[in-house]
Structure 1
């Protein structure tokens, strides 16, 4: 009985990171400079720590970047850069500002910039 209880406790502790939800923010880009009407969903898996040990972009983030004109490899690189920035952990306004700055950059390699 004690072994079963211990095994259950260990399994629960090991599964905790899987239950820790990722942080999801959405920014609706409907400004005058880029009137695309598309939404960039900044969504990063953060894990249970404030460090960027396992941080990575969720697929909805990469897919929304592809939808606004980035090719997949560039979208993934942008999403990785945003999600792995340690200064943006727990900072939704910083995530929004960073993504707005990247999106507004004329040299950001979106397909419609060529």
Structure 2
């Protein structure tokens, strides 16, 4: 039996895809952004507002993870500046850390 060896180079070269729910959340935000851009012409304000309104609410661990993914994508689209995006991610990470561990959540269901 061989034991796979991992180092930082192989882990960095092997990306871990986001969960399907995160992909769907980012796609919803991106679609809202595109729709806002189409409705507003060159007015970025409508597109940015549509993106923000499409972001997931904080209801559980998965929605917090989705929120973080949407903020990161929003930073790429320049919906959020670096300072605002960093604050949003920090807030979501604090909310995640306040939740009970996943093993506790899954055993109660």
Give TM class, smaller chain. 0.3 to 0.5
Q: TM-score normalised to the size of structure 2?
A: 0.32
